[in-house]
Structure 1
Amino acid sequence: MEIYRSRAPLRISFAGGGTDVNPYASRYGGLVLNATINKFAYTSLVRSEQSDISVTSYDFDKTTHFCSSTLESPFSDACFVRSVYKHLMGQACGLKVITHNDAPPGSGLGSSSAMMVSIIGAFNEMESLSMNAYEIGRLAHDIERLELKQLGGMQDQYAAAFGGFNFMEFDGDSVLVNRLKIDPWVVRELEYNMILVYTQKSRLSSTIIEDQIKNVEDKKASNIDAMHQIKQHALDMKRVLLRGKTNEFGELLHEAWQQKKQMASSITNAELDEMYEAARKAGAIGGKVSGAGGGGFMMFYCEHNKKREVVSALEKLGARVESFKFELDGVESWRNQRVEQHLRHRLMIA
């Protein structure tokens, strides 16, 4: 019996987040610049002789069961595994599934969508489906947004599927992922000068996204203009990264954050504003909240040799600094024989 595993990277969004959400993407087109980091969503699958599927989530400390043939379950909450199983399993079979994530729920790092991509990756491996990154990203989006009705955009699923630095273009439901070839020294410079901090404040992104959607539907000029501006910042930021102008990248982070706050009133709050101002006074050129806003993780780009002072200022306000590196690969899956089978094989040889 084999174990099928998959991992999908989480992402930080530099600029353009929110323009990948309809109806804005349909009416005006969206642009997003993001990059994946070495924090992952993991899935493990093992075939079982039982007729049910058990799904254990370490993040939520609970186990869900559903029938492999009828998909019926006593639990009413949305189950990513059940939805993926319905789409990708050719024949009913029992399974034991374990999922866990390197970031807490509500982190703003796209952890929910990365988990969906990770689950699809594990089923893709088990069923030998040979799905490509676009197909995985599309299925993850369609299940999460259309079937399960979870509000959000399109960047997270494709970031987890492709990995690396990506400039994404959205036109309604059409997605084009442009993978950026950033010079290695630029990547290292970003890692050296950037700080990723957990604010210790979780947030419900759907509430913030509801506000953004309503502002677009109501044609509020100031909010829509702010979204136009952050879309332009995504384009400008891509250009400076490709040219290795890292300090200009930090300055654009600051400008993009000022515009993002205009998209909806719930994007920031007093605690986040205090952290941001403290970081700027200590030597951060710019920064922003990763994801929809309201809490989760924040990122900052620091002036030369000012990183230590910025870290100290943020820690005094209760933020938790997280080390990270950029991850250039997208979803990965593999299979392995169980340990006891390896041992049995070795004993037979001996």
Structure 2
Amino acid sequence: MISTRTPLRVTLGGGGTDLESYYRHGGGFIFAMGLDKYIHIAAHRPAFQSGVVLHGPEAETCERAADLKHELVRAALLAHGFEDRFEAASIGDIAGGTGLGSSSCFLVGFLNALHALKGQTPDRQALAEEACRIEIETLAKGIGKQDQYMAAFGGLTTLDIAPDGTVKVEAVKLAPDLEAAFVRHTHIYYTGLRRDAAVILNDQNSAMLSDPSGSRDAVAESLGAIKTLGYRIRDAWVAGDLEGWGHMLHEHWVSKKKMSSKISWPHIDQLYDHVRANYGVLGGKVIGAGGGGFLMLFDPSDGTKLEAYMASQNMPRLNYRIDRAGAQVLGARTEMMTAA
């Protein structure tokens, strides 16, 4: 039995510049943090039982891996030669569809388990790229590379993405008291809303892949501003400029909303304007591609009044810390099994 633990993530700057339709024109940049909220996977190969059994939100049983409806599991199993005699279960600390990169997180954890069952220990870069190949190439999903890399590496991390898709990963290290201050003042609230990020990313991809037009130029301009802002946000964190980070969050909000009408919801927009006007919030963003899930707000005060107000709106605060470990095999029995 193999058990893995893989962190979810929050993008702090540069979101959207990790899609090929953008980075191939001049590179992308992401600054993100892994959360101490995880997707857990347990997997093994039964000694005699045939078939493939999945437990979890998308439970499924079938005779062969090729017959699975769960496309991430199907593609991963076939890529590793596990055609049958396989069982796995998954549990998430936070539900999918909430903007924290859960699909790619699941895939990275699942691939990590498959490697462990075969007695292999891939490095994090290789694990992230394998997940990218499956999602972006094999399954032709219109997504970027940040979720796979952040699931593999965790931490407070920058991703420099070259026009050819090569990713350079660097850890950003802060003094413990400074890191704690950023976490303390950077609130994350659950909105209760869920939406498929691919719907919003498809708008961006479609615009960037179209012939030169007002839409393409506007999206490219917004993403260019977001990329530049990503570098400034990274520098603010390194310099300990908390208020600067708060104001940059608002800049990001304005730039992001120019790209798609689906980035936010009307009542989230109204709530955001209200907390900026009445609770001292300097800036915020909808986490992920947009449209739901979690709302990040920077509050320079002790946060008591803001937290109470958000609770009155049925939006509880997420207590979190930065995960430093990245994707892990927590252990158990490595069976050195190869596919039958």
Q: Does the pair score TM above 0.5?
A: yes
State the match for 1:164 in structure 2. Answer: 155
Counterpart of 1:217 (choices 209, 215, 237) is: 209
Cα distance, 1:335–1:93 mapped onto 2, change above 3 Å: farther
Moved more, 92-101 or 123-132: 92-101
Match status 1:80 vs 2:86: no
Question: Could you tell me how far apart the structure 1 residues matched to 2:131 and 2:333 are?
Answer: 27
State the match for 1:333 in structure 2. Answer: 329
Question: Could you tell me how far apart the structure 2 residues matched to 1:98 and 1:78 are?
Answer: 13
Counterpart of 1:230 (choices 222, 226, 232) is: 226
Deviation at 1:92, TM superposition (A): 5.6
TM-score (ref. length: structure 2): 0.91
Deviation at 1:205, TM superposition (A): 1.1
State the match for 2:43 in structure 1. Answer: 45
Counterpart of 1:319 (choices 315, 320, 324) is: 315
Check whether the contact 1:208–1:264 (CA below 8 A) recurs between aligned residues.
yes
Match status 1:130 vs 2:121: yes
Question: Could you tell me how far apart the structure 2 residues matched to 1:160 and 1:270 are?
Answer: 31
Cα distance, 1:226–1:99 mapped onto 2, change above 3 Å: same
Residue type of the alignment partner of 1:196: I
User: 1:11-40 CA deviation, whole Å, 9 max, x = no partner?
Assistant: 000111111112111113111110000110
Check whether the contact 1:183–1:244 (CA below 8 A) recurs between aligned residues.
no
Check whether the contact 1:288–1:298 (CA below 8 A) recurs between aligned residues.
yes
State the match for 2:53 in structure 1. Answer: 54
Residue type of the alignment partner of 2:153: F
Task: Please show how residues 1-350 of structure 1 align to structure 2 within 5 Å.
Answer: 3-48=1-46, 49-57=48-56, 59-60=57-58, 62-67=59-64, 71-73=65-67, 75=68, 77-89=69-81, 94-172=85-163, 173-218=165-210, 219=212, 220-280=216-276, 281-305=278-302, 307-336=303-332
State the match for 1:346 in structure 2. Answer: none
Deviation at 1:104, TM superposition (A): 1.3
Check whether the contact 1:7–1:121 (CA below 8 A) recurs between aligned residues.
no
Cα distance, 1:263–1:189 mapped onto 2, change above 3 Å: same
Identity, % of aligned positions: 25
Question: Where does structure 1 differ by over 6 angstroms across 4 or more consecutive aligned residues?
Answer: none
SS in 1 for 2:53: strand
SS in 2 for 1:266: coil
Question: Could you tell me how far apart the structure 1 residues matched to 2:63 and 2:179 are?
Answer: 44
Question: Could you tell me how far apart the structure 2 residues matched to 1:124 and 1:268 are?
Answer: 39
Moved more, 291-300 or 265-274: 265-274
Deviation at 1:201, TM superposition (A): 0.8
Cα distance, 1:27–1:19 mapped onto 2, change above 3 Å: same
Residue type of the alignment partner of 2:66: E
SS in 2 for 1:113: helix
Moved more, 108-117 or 278-287: 278-287
Residue type of the alignment partner of 2:51: D
**Number of matched pairs:** 327
SS in 2 for 1:31: strand
Q: Which runs of 5+ in 1 are unaligned?
A: 339-350
Q: Which runs of 5+ in 2 are unaligned?
A: 335-340
Deviation at 1:93, TM superposition (A): 5.6
Identify, as 1 or 2, the structure richer in strand.
1
SS in 1 for 2:17: coil
Residue type of the alignment partner of 1:34: A
Deviation at 1:167, TM superposition (A): 1.0
TM-score (ref. length: structure 1): 0.89
SS in 2 for 1:23: helix
Check whether the contact 2:13–2:234 (CA below 8 A) recurs between aligned residues.
no
Deviation at 1:216, TM superposition (A): 1.6
Check whether the contact 1:275–1:317 (CA below 8 A) recurs between aligned residues.
no
